Amino acid sequence: MYILFVAAVLLFASCSVREQPETVYAESEQRLMQRFFIAKTENKQLKEDIQFEYDSLNRRFTFETQRWIDGIDSLRPTFFADGEAYIEDVEQLPGITSCNFSKREVEYVVRNTRQMTQQKCTVSIVSPQTTGLPILRIDIAGGKTVEDKETYLPATYVLSTADSTLMGTLEIRGRGNSTWWQKKKPYRIKLTESVSLFGMHKARSWVLLANALDASLITNTVGLELARRMELPCTNHGQHVELYINGAYAGNYFLTEQIQVHKGRVEADTLKGGFLVELDLNYDEQFQFKTPIYKVPVMLKQPENSSAMNEVRTIFVEIERLLAQSNPDYDKLSALIDMPSLARYMLLNDLVYNGEFGHPKSVYCFCRSREVPIEWGPAWDYDWAFGYVGTQYVYFQNADNLMFDLTRNPLQLGGAGGNFFSRFFRIPEFRELYKQEWQRVLPAVSDIDNYVWQQGRQLEYSWLENHKRWGAPDIKKQYSYMDMMSFLDRRIEKITETTK
Lay out the sheet containing 50-51: strands in order across.
Answer: 50-51, 33-38, 78-81
Q: What is the mean pLDDT of residues 210-217?
A: 94
- pTM score, whole prediction: 0.92
pLDDT in tens, 96-119: 999 999 999 999 999 999 999 999
Task: Report pLDDT for 322.
Answer: 97
* Confidence band, pLDDT 50/70/90 cuts, at residue 354: very high
Burial class for 445, CB neighbours closer than 10 Å (0-12, 13-18, 19+): buried
Over range 343-357, report the average pLDDT: 97
Q: Is the pLDDT of residue 16 over 60?
A: no
Q: How far apart are CA 423 and CA 324, in angstroms?
A: 8
Question: How far is the CA of 478 from the CAs of 183, 441, 448, in angstroms?
Answer: 19, 30, 19
3-class secondary structure, 401: coil
- Going by DSSP bridges, is the β-strand pair 117-126/153-160 parallel, antiparallel, or unpaired? unpaired
Please give the average per-residue pLDDT across 93-98, as a whole number: 97
Residue 265 burial (10 A CB sphere; 0-12, 13-18, 19+): buried
Does residue 4 register a pLDDT over 80? no
Residue 60 has pLDDT above 60, yes or no: yes
- The pLDDT, as a whole number, for residue 108 is 98
Q: 45-54, long-range: CB within 8 Å, 24+ apart, which pairs?
A: 45/70, 45/71, 46/70, 50/75, 50/125, 52/123
Q: pLDDT band for position 22 (50/70/90)?
A: low
List phi, psi (to 5°) of 391.
-115, 130
DSSP 15-74: HHHHHPPPP--EEPSS--EEEEEE-TTT-TT-SS-EEPEEETTTTEEEEE--S--TTGGG
- Alpha-carbon separation of residue 46 from 68, 76, 232 (angstroms): 10, 11, 49
State residue 297's pLDDT score: 97
Range 311-335 average pLDDT: 97
What's the whole-number mean pLDDT along residues 129-155? 97
Q: Are 118 and 111 in contact (CB under 8 A)?
A: yes
Q: Is pLDDT of 17 > 60?
A: no
Q: Where are the alpha helices (DSSP H) in 140-231?
A: 219-229
φ/ψ (deg, to 5) at 173: -145, 175
- Name the residue with higher pLDDT: 2 or 251: 251
Closest-CA residue to 402 (of 344, 362, 354): 354
Task: List C-alpha distances in Å: 10 to 13, 14, 18, 139, 228.
Answer: 5, 6, 12, 65, 68
- Return the pLDDT at 187: 98
Distance from C-alpha of 219 to C-alpha of 483, rounded to nearest angstrom:
12
Mean pLDDT of 26-41: 95
pLDDT of residue 8: 42
- Residue percentage of the chain with pLDDT more than 90: 88
Mean pLDDT within 411-427: 90
Task: Tell me the C-alpha distance between 349 and 125, whole Å.
Answer: 41
Share of the chain above pLDDT 70, in %: 95
Q: Is the dihedral of CA 444, 445, 447, 450 positive or negative?
A: positive
| Average pLDDT value for residue range 71-93 | 97
End-to-end Cα distance, the chain:
95
14 — pLDDT class (breaks 50, 70, 90): very low
| Averaged confidence pLDDT in the chain | 93
